[in-house]
Amino acid sequence: MPTATPLAPRLVQGGIVTLDPDTSVVQSVIALQYNPDSLSRTLQIQSTPGTQDGARVDALRLRGPAVETIKLDAEFDATDQLEYPQQYPLATQYGLHPQLAQLEMLINPSVETLLADDAMANAGTLEIIPLEQPLTLFVWSRSRVLPVRLTEFTVTEEAFDVALNPIRAKVSLSMRVLNIDDLGFAHPGGRLFMSYLTLKEQFASQAAMPALTVLGLGGLPS
């Protein structure tokens, strides 16, 4: 099994963190086994719509932050671990079940929560409302710590051991970044989004601005 040499740079892994939305206490940390080779981001502009009666509107006005969607494919492989059963007994017994289940619990309420809510509902002491999940953060370096809601989750299991445990799999994730319109300024996720947007502004201010001549202009038309 290959090991990193002392001279090799430390690889930062992407992953997902969940927080208690009330206390901001970290509940779980999930590191992707392999960083995806690509990550796609789509930003939907929140512009002010025009009116059907032809009334004049401010075309430069924004209603709020752009709605950002992130998609990636994460690969998981237990093949190397199976060569060392003493060192990785869980991989030998269960394959990738623990890693996949950890991700799937991001979109499922716990059994304890379901049973507790059912008991309270049967006792007439609870109004049925959607179950609140922990605050989910997508972490892709120190520059991107984003509050997200998973919108699509697909698992493709590609290989199995003799007990039909998955030992190689690909997980496709789609996430919508939650901004202040979703969470508000006081919410922990809202504050994290504002930090993300502030960092964007700082990066933008550091980008070099070429002269108009680069664009073939001596000045702007009057």
> Would you list the domain boundaries of the chain?
15-45+62-203
**Averages of pLDDT over each 10 residues, the chain, 222 residues:** 58 94 93 95 86 63 93 96 92 96 93 85 71 90 96 97 96 97 95 97 95 92 85
Cβ atoms 175, 121 nearer than 8 A: no
- What integer pLDDT is reported at residue 149 of this predicted model? 96
Amino acid present at 189: G
Whole-prediction pTM: 0.86
